[in-house]
Chain A
């Protein structure tokens, strides 16, 4: 349809133009303007014209119709009509940019009409050329977009944009079919925010785009006001005409491009061809993208199981895993509802724990969180209990499930359902995965069922693991509680025992200090024995408390020079050492270890005092301390993270020695091998063992009766500088030097 604006034409001219209009192919219509102001008003209203025919009276003088259009609509040709005697004015208009002029001679009306027809044809051809150019531009832009994009949205957006800008359609929209619906994918000519939300998804049978898809051909409405049951697809007021052209994939339509205008009867065959041309490259693009998306979908399905397994392995949060699995299954298998429910046959309940509902469902349908297993549900639950996958669809209902199916389809409008059991440790309580199709009938393919069984197996494993984990956690908590109880018990008991010991020691001491004169020699001896035994009992209790504390207290480890610790301990033991006449030999170099200061002192102190204590009647009692690096596998490829190097330390004496039979027992608490006249409760070595083993080390003893004994313990060397490590290694490989 060609739109002509006639300005200030004389009666003859106007008649000739009106008669010329019907001759135009594709149709033409004219609007009649009186003067310059009238033209200006029409342009201000946004009217679009293909050609202007104006009398030279309004196209001369500078501020005229010609200037107006050249300024406002430079691509609209302006034709000037003039009398023969004023041809000069027309020529002047040509020089200023008018397209051509028509001379009115004193001739027949018929000739004038033909002249008008020729003018319009010329204008039309000119317009065609411009339009073809624009169409080519639009197609070029669209095909560039298609080449660049791997998604649908930008391509469709580009199509509607190009059609609006280059081809001058007021409103352009692109739709794609989604089942029984048509989804609006892109729109131009109007802000999307101004559109009512209801028009984003249109039923196929409403509006020209849907009908174009259904009929697989172009559908146009020339004037909505003449039709009762038709509404503009964009839902905007003021739209008079619409044209929709299908986007085809092979033989069937997959979507539509729609143009709309406020002018009635705006669209004709030419527009249909234009839009078809625009839709054509889309078909290929959509097919490519469709294939891409199908491929993606297939990959998604294939990886669903892998994703569920990795979720299972990456987190211990059971609920998170289940929730994620349900959502993934729902979206990948494209079901409308996917729910995971716990079935408790004993309690007769079915509680839904996780649910996925397709967001495109017109109304969100949600399952009851908790349902009772009624008579109609029971047969289904029995099947599931036996590990059966149960599927049903509208045309294929298992007779045993007829009751349940009736209820379900009435409540949810279900058209196809699949139930997959997920077995757990108990047969009366298990989980079930339910998938439901509401919008359309669906046949569950073998692939679907295989995938579902795989996922069910994986989830079953997860649930079992979670149960095991819970049981283990419970047991660990119980053990911790028991341990704490035991420690509290040891603490309380030793303190309760301490009260009488305090009394015994106190009174014995009073007897010794204040009443010694009243006792004879024997009496004094007995009191001394009571005091000594009370003293011993006291130490026993203290050691017991200490032992219970060693495993409990967490003291920070630090880098300690063993030399300092050993020197301190030897100084502390100076008195008994001298009393027994013991020589202590130690090496020239000591390493640094990573240990708790208090505990390391305790280890050395216990071992050294132990050695001094058990020297017996040795004539030249000698104690020797030393150390060496433990051989270890050195991983040369891991220079950045050197493995911990362990050293073995020893305390050797030439005392009474230990019979092999007892060598394992001495590290247990309260094992004293002989009631000799030596101090000691027999807890010291147990404390050593607990301290050393608590840090991953080991203790051992080498001895033979009469040959002395060597006690060994291991400790990790501190990760000091490489130079120190080198020195340590060098020293350790040589013969240890002893200094007396």
Chain B
């Protein structure tokens, strides 16, 4: 169905929230693998690149990012991701209890792809997290398929564009 295991990076300091999010994804048809980072500093290390500007760790297919993180704020993590070349294309969805318009605006200004409030009815929470995650994973699969298709065509010399 899709070429490989899909990976989600969850950056969340509250273990209960992390567990809840994991639970919502258990029923997803994509069965993504979830990695957890619990503070902002670790997240920055994860995003760090080597001298050649390559990512040390392969970037995930989707990032779920909390804003109120210990040590380094979520907005800073978001900025670091948008500054790293290999992370620039990775979709980042903000998951937070902050509901002030200014906070939401700042997320989008820093390059977030989506925003989800945690302060919603529990069943809404489950379905919305799952829907959003599946939307971005579907997009990732399509992009990958397109890239393969383009690569194959390039191999056969029918198209001269770089993938």
- Which A residues form the contact surface with B (CB < 8 A)? 491, 495, 498-500, 502-503, 505-510, 513, 538, 542, 545
Which of chain B's residues have a CB closer than 8 A to the CB of A538?
Answer: 119
Please pick, from A495, A503, A508, A513, the residue contacting B17 in the complex, using a CB distance under 8 A: A503
Can you report 26 A-B residue pairs in the complex whose CB atoms are below 8 A from each other?
A495-B68, A495-B97, A495-B98, A498-B118, A498-B119, A499-B68, A499-B118, A502-B20, A502-B97, A502-B118, A502-B125, A503-B17, A505-B121, A505-B122, A506-B16, A506-B122, A507-B16, A507-B20, A508-B122, A509-B122, A509-B123, A509-B126, A510-B20, A510-B23, A510-B122, A513-B123
Query: Once the chains bind, are B20 and A506 in contact (CB under 8 Å)?
Result: yes
Q: B16 to A503, Cβ gap below 8 A? A: yes
Q: What residues of chain A lie closer than 8 Å to B14, measured between beta carbons?
A: 499, 503
- Bits for B111-144, please: 1 = Cβ < 8 Å to A, else 0: 0000000110111011000000000000000000
Q: Which residues of B contact A (CB under 8 A)?
A: 14, 16-17, 20, 23, 68, 97-100, 118-119, 121-123, 125-126
The answer for the CA separation of A630 and B23 in the assembled complex, in Å, is: 59
CA distance A513 to B123 in the complex (A): 9
Contact, CB under 8 Å: B123 / A502: no
B102 to chain A, nearest CB (A): 10
C-alpha spacing A491/B23, complex, angstroms = 29
CA distance A495 to B98 in the complex (A): 7
Contacts of B122 in A (CB 8 A): 505-506, 508-510
Query: Beyond the given A502-B125, A538-B119, could you list 6 further A-B residue pairs with CB under 8 A, ordered by the A residue number?
Result: A495-B68, A499-B118, A503-B16, A503-B17, A503-B20, A508-B122
In the complex, chain B residues whose CB is within 8 Å of the CB of A503: 14, 16-17, 20
In the assembled complex, the CB of A21 is this many whole angstroms from the nearest CB of chain B, namely: 105
B111 to chain A, nearest CB (A): 23
- Distance of A499 Cα from B68 Cα, bound (Å): 10
**Distance between A552 CB and nearest chain B CB, rounded to angstroms:** 11
Closest to B66 in A: A499
- State the Cβ distance, B23 to closest chain A Cβ, in Å: 6
Cα separation A303 to B147 with both chains bound (whole Å): 89
Q: How far is the CA of A442 from the CA of B129 in the complex (A)?
A: 92
B123 engages A499 (CB within 8 Å): no
> In the complex, what residues of A have CB within 8 A of residue B98's CB?
495
CB distance from B65 to the nearest CB of A (A): 15
CB nearest to A553 among chain B residues: B101
Give the distance in Å from the alpha carbon of A542 to the alpha carbon of B99 in the complex. Answer: 10
A505 to B17, CA, bound (A): 11
B100: chain A residues at CB < 8 Å are 491
List, in ascending order, chain A residues with CB within 8 A of B99's CB. Answer: 545
Chain B residues within an 8 Å CB radius of A509: 122-123, 126
Closest 3 pairs (CB-CB, A-B)? A509-B122, A503-B16, A506-B20
Inter-chain CA distance A507–B121, complex, in Å, is: 12
Complex CA–CA separation, A491 to B98 (angstroms)? 9
Whether A498 pairs with B20 at a CB distance below 8 angstroms is: no
Most buried by B among A502, A505, A510: A502
Contacts of B17 in A (CB 8 A): 499, 502-503, 506
Tell me the bound Cα distance from A256 to B119 in angstroms.
96
**With the chains together, A505 CA to B119 CA distance in Å?**
10
Identify the closest chain B residue to A491 (Cβ). Answer: B100
Residues of the A chain whose Cβ atoms lie less than 8 Å from the Cβ of B126: 509
Query: A502, B119: Cβ atoms under 8 Å?
Result: yes
Neighbouring A residues of B125 by C-beta, 8 Å = 502, 506
Given A503-B17, A507-B16, verify A498-B123 contact (CB < 8 Å): no
Q: How far is the CA of A499 from the CA of B100 in the complex (A)?
A: 15
B36 smallest CB distance to A (angstroms): 15
- List chain A residues, Cβ under 8 A from B121: 505
Contact A499-B97, Cβ < 8 Å, known A506-B125, A509-B123, A542-B119: yes
Q: Which residue from chain B places its CB closest to the CB of A504 in the assembled complex?
A: B16
Q: Which residues of B contact A545 (CB under 8 A)?
A: 99
Q: In the bound complex, how far is the Cα of B122 from the Cα of A538, in angstroms?
A: 11
Q: Give bound CA distance, A498 to B99, whole Å.
A: 11
Whole-angstrom CA separation of A545 from B121 in the bound complex: 17
Shortest distance between the CB of A513 and any CB in chain B (Å)? 7
* Complex alpha-carbon distance, A728 and B124, angstroms: 46
CA–CA, A508 and B125, complex, Å: 13
Give the shortest distance, in Å, between A554 (CB) and chain B (any CB).
13
